Copies of this chain bind each other. A is one copy, B any other.
Amino acid sequence: MKRVITISREFGSGGREFGRQLAEQLNIAYYDQEIIEEISKRTKLAEQYVEQIIEQKSVIPFPIHVGCRLHPYSFSNPILEQKQTIMMQQNQIICEMAEKSDCVIVGRCGDYILQHFHPYRIFIYAELEHRIKRCMERCTDHDRCSFSEMEKKILSVDKNRKKYYEFYTGKTWGNPLNYDLCINTTNVDLAEIISVFYKLFC
Protein backbone atom coordinates (compact mmCIF):
# COMPACT_ATOMS: atom_id res chain seq x y z
CA MET A 1 0.00 0.00 0.00
CA LYS A 2 1.24 3.47 -0.92
CA ARG A 3 1.98 5.93 1.81
CA VAL A 4 0.50 9.21 0.73
CA ILE A 5 0.56 11.84 3.46
CA THR A 6 -1.08 15.23 3.07
CA ILE A 7 -0.31 18.19 5.31
CA SER A 8 -2.69 21.10 5.74
CA ARG A 9 -1.40 23.87 7.94
CA GLU A 10 -2.02 27.23 9.47
CA PHE A 11 0.47 29.84 8.34
CA GLY A 12 3.48 29.98 10.64
CA SER A 13 2.70 26.71 12.42
CA GLY A 14 5.69 24.91 10.91
CA GLY A 15 3.55 22.66 8.70
CA ARG A 16 5.87 22.89 5.72
CA GLU A 17 8.87 22.12 7.90
CA PHE A 18 6.96 19.25 9.49
CA GLY A 19 6.16 17.81 6.06
CA ARG A 20 9.74 18.14 4.84
CA GLN A 21 11.24 16.51 7.92
CA LEU A 22 8.62 13.75 7.94
CA ALA A 23 9.38 12.90 4.31
CA GLU A 24 13.09 12.92 5.09
CA GLN A 25 12.63 10.61 8.06
CA LEU A 26 10.50 8.23 6.00
CA ASN A 27 12.80 8.56 3.03
CA ILE A 28 9.91 9.32 0.68
CA ALA A 29 9.28 12.15 -1.78
CA TYR A 30 8.30 15.61 -0.58
CA TYR A 31 6.40 17.74 -3.06
CA ASP A 32 5.93 21.45 -2.66
CA GLN A 33 7.82 23.83 -4.96
CA GLU A 34 8.20 20.94 -7.43
CA ILE A 35 4.50 21.22 -8.16
CA ILE A 36 4.86 24.87 -9.19
CA GLU A 37 7.91 24.03 -11.33
CA GLU A 38 6.03 21.26 -13.11
CA ILE A 39 2.97 23.47 -13.78
CA SER A 40 5.30 26.12 -15.12
CA LYS A 41 6.96 23.61 -17.44
CA ARG A 42 3.66 22.28 -18.77
CA THR A 43 1.89 25.60 -19.21
CA LYS A 44 4.99 27.56 -20.25
CA LEU A 45 4.03 30.23 -17.71
CA ALA A 46 6.62 31.77 -15.38
CA GLU A 47 6.93 30.02 -12.00
CA GLN A 48 6.36 33.28 -10.20
CA TYR A 49 3.13 33.88 -12.10
CA VAL A 50 1.90 30.35 -11.43
CA GLU A 51 2.67 30.77 -7.74
CA GLN A 52 0.84 34.07 -7.64
CA ILE A 53 -2.24 32.61 -9.26
CA ILE A 54 -2.26 29.71 -6.81
CA GLU A 55 -1.71 31.98 -3.82
CA GLN A 56 -4.54 34.36 -4.79
CA LYS A 57 -7.02 31.53 -4.86
CA SER A 58 -10.27 33.35 -4.26
CA VAL A 59 -10.93 34.12 -7.90
CA ILE A 60 -10.78 30.55 -9.17
CA PRO A 61 -14.05 30.02 -10.96
CA PHE A 62 -15.14 26.45 -10.13
CA PRO A 63 -14.79 24.16 -7.15
CA ILE A 64 -13.41 20.64 -7.46
CA HIS A 65 -16.57 19.11 -6.09
CA VAL A 66 -18.66 20.34 -8.99
CA GLY A 67 -16.17 18.65 -11.31
CA CYS A 68 -15.59 20.03 -14.77
CA ARG A 69 -18.88 21.77 -15.45
CA LEU A 70 -17.34 25.07 -16.48
CA HIS A 71 -19.54 28.07 -16.96
CA PRO A 72 -19.49 28.88 -20.69
CA TYR A 73 -18.76 32.55 -20.03
CA SER A 74 -15.51 31.65 -18.32
CA PHE A 75 -13.95 31.07 -21.74
CA SER A 76 -14.65 34.61 -22.76
CA ASN A 77 -12.08 35.69 -20.16
CA PRO A 78 -8.53 34.60 -21.04
CA ILE A 79 -7.15 35.24 -17.52
CA LEU A 80 -9.90 33.19 -15.98
CA GLU A 81 -9.20 30.45 -18.49
CA GLN A 82 -5.49 30.56 -17.62
CA LYS A 83 -6.32 30.23 -13.95
CA GLN A 84 -8.48 27.23 -14.64
CA THR A 85 -5.71 25.65 -16.66
CA ILE A 86 -3.20 26.19 -13.85
CA MET A 87 -5.49 24.71 -11.21
CA MET A 88 -6.38 21.73 -13.38
CA GLN A 89 -2.70 21.12 -14.10
CA GLN A 90 -2.00 21.31 -10.38
CA ASN A 91 -4.63 18.68 -9.60
CA GLN A 92 -3.33 16.41 -12.33
CA ILE A 93 0.31 16.78 -11.29
CA ILE A 94 -0.52 16.07 -7.63
CA CYS A 95 -2.33 12.87 -8.68
CA GLU A 96 0.56 11.82 -10.93
CA MET A 97 3.04 12.39 -8.12
CA ALA A 98 1.02 10.33 -5.64
CA GLU A 99 0.62 7.64 -8.28
CA LYS A 100 4.37 7.49 -8.89
CA SER A 101 5.58 6.91 -5.34
CA ASP A 102 5.04 7.34 -1.61
CA CYS A 103 5.04 11.03 -0.84
CA VAL A 104 4.24 13.95 1.44
CA ILE A 105 2.27 16.79 -0.14
CA VAL A 106 1.86 20.10 1.67
CA GLY A 107 -1.24 22.25 1.16
CA ARG A 108 -3.05 22.56 -2.19
CA CYS A 109 -6.16 20.69 -0.93
CA GLY A 110 -4.06 17.53 -1.29
CA ASP A 111 -6.25 15.71 1.22
CA TYR A 112 -9.25 16.28 -1.04
CA ILE A 113 -7.62 15.90 -4.46
CA LEU A 114 -6.01 12.63 -3.42
CA GLN A 115 -8.97 11.16 -1.56
CA HIS A 116 -9.05 8.08 -3.81
CA PHE A 117 -5.52 7.28 -2.54
CA HIS A 118 -6.88 7.32 1.03
CA PRO A 119 -4.08 9.61 2.20
CA TYR A 120 -3.16 10.05 5.83
CA ARG A 121 -4.33 13.62 6.45
CA ILE A 122 -2.50 15.77 8.97
CA PHE A 123 -3.45 19.28 10.07
CA ILE A 124 -0.72 21.38 11.70
CA TYR A 125 -1.74 24.37 13.79
CA ALA A 126 -0.56 26.52 16.68
CA GLU A 127 -1.56 29.43 18.85
CA LEU A 128 -1.48 32.71 16.96
CA GLU A 129 1.12 34.29 19.22
CA HIS A 130 3.47 31.36 18.73
CA ARG A 131 3.01 31.60 14.98
CA ILE A 132 3.74 35.32 14.95
CA LYS A 133 6.94 34.77 16.95
CA ARG A 134 7.98 31.88 14.73
CA CYS A 135 7.50 33.94 11.56
CA MET A 136 9.31 36.95 13.01
CA GLU A 137 12.32 34.83 13.93
CA ARG A 138 12.52 33.76 10.31
CA CYS A 139 12.32 37.25 8.84
CA THR A 140 15.30 38.46 6.90
CA ASP A 141 16.43 42.10 6.78
CA HIS A 142 14.50 42.28 3.55
CA ASP A 143 11.05 41.41 4.97
CA ARG A 144 11.28 42.44 8.61
CA CYS A 145 8.05 43.85 10.05
CA SER A 146 6.34 44.65 13.35
CA PHE A 147 4.44 42.15 15.52
CA SER A 148 1.07 43.58 14.51
CA GLU A 149 2.00 43.67 10.82
CA MET A 150 2.99 40.01 11.04
CA GLU A 151 -0.26 39.19 12.83
CA LYS A 152 -2.20 40.87 10.03
CA LYS A 153 -0.23 38.97 7.38
CA ILE A 154 -0.80 35.60 9.10
CA LEU A 155 -4.53 36.18 9.49
CA SER A 156 -4.78 37.24 5.87
CA VAL A 157 -2.93 34.17 4.55
CA ASP A 158 -5.07 31.90 6.72
CA LYS A 159 -8.22 33.58 5.48
CA ASN A 160 -7.14 32.89 1.90
CA ARG A 161 -6.30 29.27 2.68
CA LYS A 162 -9.68 28.85 4.34
CA LYS A 163 -11.54 30.36 1.39
CA TYR A 164 -9.48 28.33 -1.09
CA TYR A 165 -10.10 25.06 0.75
CA GLU A 166 -13.78 25.71 1.29
CA PHE A 167 -14.37 26.84 -2.26
CA TYR A 168 -12.57 23.85 -3.73
CA THR A 169 -13.72 21.10 -1.46
CA GLY A 170 -17.02 22.33 -0.01
CA LYS A 171 -15.65 21.43 3.43
CA THR A 172 -14.45 23.49 6.39
CA TRP A 173 -10.72 24.14 6.57
CA GLY A 174 -9.32 23.10 9.94
CA ASN A 175 -12.36 21.01 10.93
CA PRO A 176 -10.78 18.01 12.67
CA LEU A 177 -13.15 15.60 10.89
CA ASN A 178 -11.36 16.35 7.61
CA TYR A 179 -8.08 15.05 9.05
CA ASP A 180 -6.74 11.91 10.70
CA LEU A 181 -4.48 13.79 13.05
CA CYS A 182 -4.30 17.42 14.18
CA ILE A 183 -1.05 18.49 15.81
CA ASN A 184 -0.63 21.64 17.87
CA THR A 185 2.95 22.83 17.40
CA THR A 186 2.83 25.59 20.04
CA ASN A 187 6.13 25.42 21.95
CA VAL A 188 6.91 22.04 20.43
CA ASP A 189 10.22 20.77 19.06
CA LEU A 190 9.23 19.61 15.56
CA ALA A 191 12.12 17.17 15.17
CA GLU A 192 11.22 15.58 18.49
CA ILE A 193 7.58 14.91 17.64
CA ILE A 194 8.40 13.78 14.10
CA SER A 195 10.74 11.19 15.58
CA VAL A 196 7.59 9.70 17.17
CA PHE A 197 4.93 10.34 14.52
CA TYR A 198 6.89 8.95 11.56
CA LYS A 199 6.44 5.50 13.11
CA LEU A 200 2.77 5.69 12.19
CA PHE A 201 3.91 5.04 8.63
CA CYS A 202 6.55 2.36 9.18
Binding site for B on A (CB under 8 A): 123, 125, 127, 174, 176-177, 179-184, 186, 188, 193, 196-197, 199-200
Contact = CB atoms under 8 A, between A and B. Distances in A.
Nearest to A182: B182
Contacts of A176: 123, 125, 174, 176, 182, 184
Contacts of A177: 125, 127, 184
A34 B188 CA distance: 32
A115 B125 CA distance: 20
A123, A174, A184, A197 — which one has the most chain B CB atoms within 10 A of its CB? A184
Contacts of A200: 193, 196
A180 B184 CA distance: 5
A49 to B, nearest CB: 35
